[in-house]
Amino acid sequence: MPRLHFDPEKSRHLACLALCLVAMPTLAHARGVHARGGHARGGHAPPVDPAVMPEITAPTAYLVDVASGRVLFARDAHRRFVPASLTKIMTSYVAFELIAAGKLKLDQRFTMRPETFRQWHRVGSTMFLGNNSSTTVADLLEGIVTVSANDACVVLAEGIAGSVPGFTAMMNAEARALGLHDTHYNTPNGWMDQGQTYVSAADLATLATALITRHPDLYHRFYGHERAEFNGIAQANHNPLYGHTPGADGVKTGFTGEAGYGFVGSVERGGRRVIFVLGGYGRPNDRAQQSRRLAEWAFAAWDSHPIIAMGAPVATAPVQGGAASSVDLVTPQGYAITVPHGTVPRYTLAIRYKSPLTAPIARGDAVATLIVRAPGQPIERLPLVAARAVAQGGMTDRLRDGLAAITGKRGTP
């Protein structure tokens, strides 16, 4: 795919280019908790008729193709419900964010306080952490993700923020940053709290997508394990996809009498990932069987067509006041379009930004938007980022910009 160069529409200070593309070729074609059994990517998929949508009886549901953002199925997806242990996805996300920022280390140790031990020892799912025991962040995360350890969530929360309310404030701040409008956290482990903690299926899918795409290395280190062992006690992961659905690597189950049986699932095959949320089942067997069938339907009934590879230069934008007169716009992740099986993809792309961009610009700054329009699905607005940093310019650079403005050649490579 050639780079896209365009002449800004000066009257609106926007640069916009639409490219009509049909079937466009892709640019991308005690020392610890021990995870056992490797990553749960095996299993034999049951035969699926691509034309038949499986019966889904969950009161709230949501299925999305990650690369395209296309919603393949939704039912009452913004309805608020009690998440139970699905809360722990955000608990791990907060920890991953801190680790990535260098504010938390995997070998850092947190202590089980006597007060915490009295409240959470053997309450619900647990790692059986001892009173005054010292546990690494890595072991706590493994316990939280794989065996849904309630005690580990509280020890991690208190170790990071000093208190549970301090940590839930961090959880809610991350929810706001991700635009989760139907989410609020009052607990780090999802234990029953009279509905003060709530989520929606759409919000959980957004959170799971951020967890995986922002922290792929940490995700693959801690998620996808069929079982874990700590202090000689081995426990199984309750993920209903493991051992049954090829490519399954997450995310989290949840259950309380208040919440019913819920599940956030993730499956990746051939570089294509789908994430789905099912909430409010009355029986665990319904959750297990329907989640497996929904995952298979997502791959059998829908095709994903990559259109732009991660890091691909898409356009060049002019820059004012910088040491360089232009900067390349690139994709921070691969983008695809998802269509019903056997359908030829038809779509248009448009790129929009405020022109000219103003220096300084940091490498990776989101400075433009890629707009994808395709029949039958909502308009997608995806970020484009600066390929390199552009420092504030000096007098010579300002003279150059002034001359370019006069001649109408600003930002010409």
Domains identified in the chain and CATH numbers:
14-28+309-407 (2.60.410.10), 34-302 (3.40.710.10)
Return d(Cα 346, Cα 339) in angstroms, integer: 9
Please report the pLDDT score of residue 42 as a whole number: 54
Closest listed residue to residue 292, CA positions, set 256, 252, 227, 243: 243
| Contact by Cβ (8 Å): 220, 142 | no
Q: Mean pLDDT, to the nearest integer, of 4-23?
A: 36
Q: In a 10 Å sphere around its CB, with 0-12 CB exposed, 13-18 middle and 19+ buried, how is residue 96 labelled?
A: buried
In the residue annotation, 200 being an active-site residue is answered as no
Tokens representing 215 are 């922290």
Summarize pLDDT for 370-408 with one digit per residue, the tens: 999 988 777 888 899 999 999 987 766 566 556 666 665
Identity at 293, one-letter amino acid code: R
- Return d(Cα 289, Cα 178) in angstroms, integer: 31
What value does the mean pLDDT of the chain take? Answer: 87
User: Hey, what amino acid is at 216?
Assistant: P
SS3 61: strand
Please tell me the least confidently modeled range out of 18-22, 95-99, 280-284. Answer: 18-22
Number of separate helices (H) and strands (E) present in the chain: 9, 19
- Model pTM? 0.81
User: Quick check: is 85 catalytic?
Assistant: yes
- pLDDT digit string (tens) for 187-224? 999 999 999 999 999 999 999 999 999 999 999 999 99
Of the candidates 88, 92, 252, 325, the residue annotated as catalytic is: 88
Helical pair 201-214 and 88-100, crossing angle rounded to 10 deg: 30
Name the active-site residue from 68, 85, 266, 291.
Answer: 85
**DSSP state at residue 377:** S
pLDDT, one tens digit per residue, over 302-320 is 999 988 888 999 999 999 8
148 is catalytic: yes
Partner residues linked to 80 by β-bridges: none
Report the pLDDT value the prediction gives residue 374, as an integer from 0 to 100.
87
> Which one-letter DSSP state was computed for residue 85?
G
pLDDT of residue 49: 72
DSSP single-letter state for residue 8? -
Q: Which of 68, 92, 125, 148 is catalytic?
A: 148
Q: How confident is the model at residue 413 (pLDDT cuts 50, 70, 90)?
A: very low
